[in-house]
Amino acid sequence: MPRALLLENIDPVAVEVLGNAGYEVESVRGALDEGDLVAALDGVDVLGIRSKTQVTAEVLRRRPDLKAVGAFCIGTNQIDLATAAGTGVAVFNAPYSNTRSVVELAIAEIISLARRLLDRDRALHSGTWDKSASGSHEVRGRTLGIVGYGNIGSQLSVLAEALGMRVVFYDLEEKLALGNAESCSSLDELLERAEAVTLHVDGRGGNAGLFGAEQFAKMRPRSLFLNLSRGFVVDHEALRDHILSGHIAGAAVDVFPDEPREQGDPFTSVLRGLPNVILTPHVGGSTQEAQYDIGRFVAGKLADYSRAGTTTLSVNLPTVALHGGSGERFAVLHRNVPGVLARVDALVGEHGLNVDGQVLATRGELGYVLTDVNAVMPDDLLTALRALPETIRLTTFAHRRD
């Protein structure tokens, strides 16, 4: 029976989906460091993680039998994708399942900061009745600047506009503006126009240090700032300075450069205790609805891959899906050079088999071919396929029925 290891308190629906796919599933609440992860992966076919566990090149090299990794979140920067691809490990994530949860949190925080609800709440809890409109504003008519106009940024754009906000955005790639949103030609232009700035960029290395003292200084006086993307993109010392100076009227931060590994661990930040600052423990996508959807979606992708070799929405392998077939199936992940498909088919014919169905896709230096044959594959055919100089990994799927 194949084994799956799920870390970081992944929703139980993932255990159910993988269990129905024939896996023996172990679920662990916390993350693991590199050494413990290598030890835990002994005999494991599929690994599921969230954002804390780092699947490094060393982990992948020391556990060559690992077949797939599921990132039960949006980001995959915690996984060495190149090494995973080069060793034949498919990686899947959930690029859409929690976008609504993140967007709703951003909207709630924009309103809370504009109304200074956090300060009013603290005053009342401390026994002080401070009924005043001072510093409290509506969001209607204000300009929201969205940095990163992907799945989350674009959906936030629609909801913010429905609240009566004007929306401007900046993205490195040209994106279609939704509604009345306006694209900015540069980050500086966005900072000049926006009264609230929210970051929704991805985890690529080039975004490290994206927002620091220079960018905060260019924001409009008494504007709001939110970061629900990645902790390493913002200089928190610079943010603290601009909040204390009054240049930034309020901030909401959900992600941090160094986050505790386990629930209940101590948390430190230079942003603690500042006025009109909302700090949340990386819960942008942590609603019960989102976690259920993520668990079902990613576990389903892992099950499809292990059952039929389907790589649809894989973040690091060529995208392939082959439907139908009642015999046996094999997949050859290989280096993308001319003639591989012809050599594969020649070997199938030499061993007295017919190809019932086949699909090939390439992605950069990689090629991935799924092949259905009409009868049981002899061991010497599998040996010959593995021996092809271009083969990275050969996987078989027996007695398929769609």
Q: Indicate which residues carry an active-site annotation.
A: 230, 259, 282
Which runs of E-coded beta strand occur in 84-155? 90-92, 143-147
Say how far apart CA 14 and CA 254 lie, in whole Å. Answer: 25
- Residue 145 pairs in a beta bridge with 168, 197
Three-class DSSP category at 397: strand
DSSP letter string, 246-309 = TSEEEEEE---SS--SSTT-----TTTT-TTEEE-SS-TT-SHHHHHHHHHHHHHHHHHHHHH-
| Residue type (1 letter), 288 | Q
* Helix spans in 309-377 (H): 340-350
What does each C-alpha distance from 205 to 76, 78, 208, 210, 379 come to in angstroms?
12, 11, 6, 10, 44
Residues 6 or more apart whose Cβ sits within 8 Å of residue 378: 351
Cα separation of 390 and 332, whole Å? Answer: 9
- Strand, coil or helix: 156: helix
Sign of CA dihedral 181, 182, 186, 190: negative
The SS3 assignment for 170 reads strand
